[in-house]
């Protein structure tokens, strides 16, 4: 294989890796240590959070940004520590900075380790919201955790989607390169200059 082909193939392979959706899953992090979708209830003890808007975006999950207003919204919490299944947990969602309550669920135990809170009409106003979680221990002690999110900004283009679009554009350019002799000659000339530099 010539150096020119090796350089071109290496460049295309690097672009493919750069825009791989698997590489950018969970914000580009390889583990849960940088997972932005979790609450620390106590030092080292976590509750994972995922939001869904299944009528508007059936195949998407969200964390810090809910794109639509006034649509079915589900907030799902998973205990990462089995001991919380025997403790009562209270949930509240407030509109900020006013602190206006838009959802409340009294403290109760969730033996399965997963809690699904359903806001039938989602949230009505664009802006900032805060999820309040209160862990109520058997002795009455209350531990509070909070997590903010934005609502109503519209569906963002994910880094995975942008990578897919870029990969499709590059594939189109490559097909054009292979099928157009004039374009191929110019690209080969530029690659030759880069190689000689």
Share of the chain above pLDDT 70, in %: 75
Query: What is the per-residue pLDDT across 130-139, written as a single tens digit (0 to 9) for each?
Result: 999 998 888 8
With b meaning 16 or more CB within 10 Å and e meaning fewer, what string describes 161-183?
eebeeebeeeeeeeeeeeeeeee
pLDDT number for residue 155 = 66
| Distance of alpha carbon 134 from alpha carbon 88, whole angstroms | 8
Q: Sort strands 65-66 and 142-151 into parallel, antiparallel or unpaired.
A: parallel
Instruction: Assign a CATH topology to domain 36-151.
Output: Immunoglobulin-like (2.60.40)
Q: Are 141 and 41 in contact (CB under 8 A)?
A: no
Q: Which of 35, 40, 68 is nearest to 50 (CA)?
A: 35
Q: Are 134 and 89 in contact (CB under 8 A)?
A: yes
| Distance of alpha carbon 108 from alpha carbon 176, whole angstroms | 62
Other beta carbons within 10 Å of 109: 12
Question: Does residue 37 sit in helix, strand or coil?
Answer: coil
Using pLDDT thresholds of 50, 70 and 90, give the confidence band for residue 168. confident
Q: What Cα–Cα distance (Å) separates residue 108 from each residue in 79, 83, 92, 118?
A: 14, 14, 13, 16
Residue 34 DSSP class: G
Share of the chain above pLDDT 90, in %: 32
pLDDT number for residue 33 = 43
pTM, rounded to two decimals: 0.61
Other beta carbons within 10 Å of 49: 22
Cα distance between the two ends of the chain: 20
Query: Span 55-78, mean pLDDT?
Result: 91
- For residue 22, is pLDDT > 50? no
């Amino acid at each position: 294989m010539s150096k020119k082909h090796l350089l071109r193939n290496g460049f295309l392979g690097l672009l493919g890796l750069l825009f791989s959706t698997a590489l950018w899953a969970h914000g580009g992090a390889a583990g849960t240590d940088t997972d932005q979708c979790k609450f620390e209830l106590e030092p080292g003890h976590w509750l994972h959070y995922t939001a869904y808007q299944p009528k508007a975006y059936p195949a998407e999950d969200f964390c810090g940004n809910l794109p639509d207003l006034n649509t079915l919204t589900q907030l799902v919490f998973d205990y990462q520590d089995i001991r919380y299944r025997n403790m009562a947990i209270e949930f509240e969602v407030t509109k900020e900075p006013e602190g206006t309550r838009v959802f409340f669920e009294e403290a109760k135990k969730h033996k399965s380790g997963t809690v699904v809170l359903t806001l039938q009409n989602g949230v009505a106003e664009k802006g900032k919201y805060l999820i309040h979680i209160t862990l109520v221990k058997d002795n009455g002690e209350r531990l509070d955790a909070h997590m903010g999110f934005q609502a109503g900004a519209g569906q963002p283009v994910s880094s995975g989607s942008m990578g897919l679009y870029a990969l499709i554009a590059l594939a189109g350019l490559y097909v054009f390169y292979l099928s157009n002799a004039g374009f191929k000659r110019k690209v080969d000339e530029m690659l030759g200059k880069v190689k000689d530099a």
